[in-house]
Structure 1
């Protein structure tokens, strides 16, 4: 999964695309009039104060857009065809926070707008426990836009739905929860609990558990699943039926492989603490 993410990202940002904001320190040069050169910090309101023209609102602009805006003001009032250059000496206004199942969660400088896959790569990619849903909490409310956006990583990465690769803004918080957990028990080589990695199907779940033992039933599995009202339902799965092996495993599912009738009976039980659920099989 991380290999796919890293192959699609664009991590090298053009300094001219830096988004300016409060606290940023800018070195502004006017080639036609060196006496107008200045180093200035963007105010809390997003303004900079420049020689001759007082305040200019640069918040949310790229460095290139701010250059063009200042050039237009100088040209209108004082200089014919001015050329303005802005160098960002300190860029502290734009940051994003990555929380949850990243390889390297934390707060990162975010000088230019990027998309979701780029920010996941910024955090080192997904951890092994990452779930398949990303929550993006927007830093600023925009009318008509949701404050929280949910993205399906499975649709984005495996199915190539580029609409899921949304633009991330400075100040956003990106949260990737831990994947759900399923259990495999009975006649398998490595019974236990396993993380649902993005989208795990029945066949993959059995492989995670090392496969079915020689004395296990090869083509049938008991699925124990929690219903909406909190009860547990036992479903007999026939692996020979179309689509059964590709059925998705859900959080807290239990897959139980019975022993075949040929071998000696070695009964086993499964219980889930706190639920009152228990199962005894063979």
Structure 2
């Protein structure tokens, strides 16, 4: 009897064991991790896009690297930009001055020009080298030279045209190019020097071709917070800051809906925007990413470069199906770095040389084709 009970317990144990082990799923193979060194990224991206045509989300589901400045921050920065530091300016060849000698009107000169050898000609003393000096240093040098002829001479130099300082303005203006900065040149003057914004015919109507919403001015690899709609349309003087040497102004076309892919992709450049365009699709147009690309952090820059919103998407997760694709909008800039993304200023410094090259190519194409 005891033997039968033991057999019964043993069979019951086997039955329970079989039941529980049958409920445990067999281990599935792990999801393959993308090998960036061997995978054909273009084909992988195409397959991902084909599978996920409806699998897209809006921006709120993505991290934001930079959310833009508030109104007070912009105002404060613009006010500081209105203070042009002329005391640091160094005189250069071609600069023009009015020279005033106190109590000696016959020695005054209107339109004195710094010659190619860096000198300016002053009565009594002849040529004096002032190129490379600040205005105050030049006045002291000229006063020193005049002491041989006058007692305690007082000289004033008034700059009115700085040929050695210039700015560049490109895009939808009538005469793009490089222009000399005068003593009081401001942003609105740059448009006037370039003979105004371009006008064309679209659908039998005269239209302005300039996209002021996305126009920007760059200085030392930093985009300044000048709002061209506020400046041109509303006449807001706060945005009419003084120009400085090597300023770069770009005014895009209002008729083109371009998107840009920069950084570690095989064919960086600009592409025509299409409805329902996604991040994966756009990178596919750029022939995929390079082997050294950091696809864990892809920056999508939206809005005017003066104060954009910068989203961060994980392209690797999108391809693996772990994150939804990102919906692209007109004028978006996609940037893939080779390393971890820094702050917005770091990203901007990285993208500007590439963006300049792309825009210059785009402008050259427009000139050649007459678009």
Q: TM-score, normalised by structure 1?
A: 0.43
Quick one: higher RCO (CA 8 Å, sep 6+), 1 or 2?
Answer: 2
Question: Which of the two has greater strand per residue?
Answer: 1
Q: TM-score, normalised by structure 2?
A: 0.35
Higher radius of gyration, 1 or 2? 2
Question: Which of the two has greater helix per residue?
Answer: 2
